[in-house]
Amino acid sequence: MKSTTMLNILVTGSDGQLGSSIKEYKNVYPNYNFIFASQNVFDITRVDNCFLKQNSINTVINCAAYTAVDAAENNQIKADLVNHTGVLNLALAAKEAGAKFVHISTDYVFDGKHYKPYTETDRVSPLSIYGKTKLAGENALINCTLKNSIIIRTAWLYSEFGKNFLKTMLNLAETKKNLKVVSDQTGTPTYASDLAHTILEILPLIQNDKTQIYHYSNEGAASWYDFAWTIMKEANLPCKIEPVNSIEYQTAVQRPFFSLLDKRKIKSEYGINIPHWRESLDKCLRKMGVKI
């Protein structure tokens, strides 16, 4: 599904997991001209509205976010500045430039008290400062009445880039014989490369009069314990994974106990296929040079 129209794409937060994964595809789409902007190059909290017009940007993919979930509890102003104000700034700049806008959000906008996969229209009720600021960013974008714009909520991102659960487990397994991992939180590990590919595939098809919300994660369900156990199994590591309840592993933030995302909308409207999380985990491990 290659676009025949030249897209000048600004990717913010380009040094993060998703931004770095998009970079891996830059040569796959000859009609996509990318400008990859890290925070040092393009700070969304201080957007120069002329930047988009001067660079003929007609598409924005906002990967920039304050994602330190625990730290956000004590840094609410900073988290809100990036996750809320920054989104508003960028959305207004995109609207002025007439650019498409893809914004990445999170399963943390839900409280995790559901009993079935969350749809895009289910009630939002974030438990954490991180979730609240991400929801505020969603609402800011929606209120901008920006055409050709979408919000993609995702969950449990990992990749070969940056800091994430997969890399933490692999690093700990080098020195630990046993690890305790939470077993009563359910979601879906999502390979950032799969999300990056989906975004780039659907870009030419985004056409709407008001912002649409979609859910994207890999297929299947897992607890953090399941994820960790599978990592050790697939990577042939001897580290033993022991399940524990969340109450035994106290953190600064209450996390959703259940955050499966219903992906029927994005699959039906854009005709995409989504791999199972175990399949994608193997793919990521191979790219990292891990023998499986």
As annotated, the active-site residues are 130
Tokens of 191: 């390979």
Q: How many CB atoms lie within 10 A of CB 262?
A: 17
Distances (CA, A) of 172 to 83, 147, 168, 251: 30, 45, 6, 19
CB 195 within 8 A of CB 208: no
User: How large is the angle between the packed helices 86-97 and 129-143, nearest 10 degrees?
Assistant: 20
Distances (CA, A) of 184 to 170, 175, 247, 269, 274: 21, 25, 10, 33, 25
**Residue listed under structure tokens 């400008």:** 35
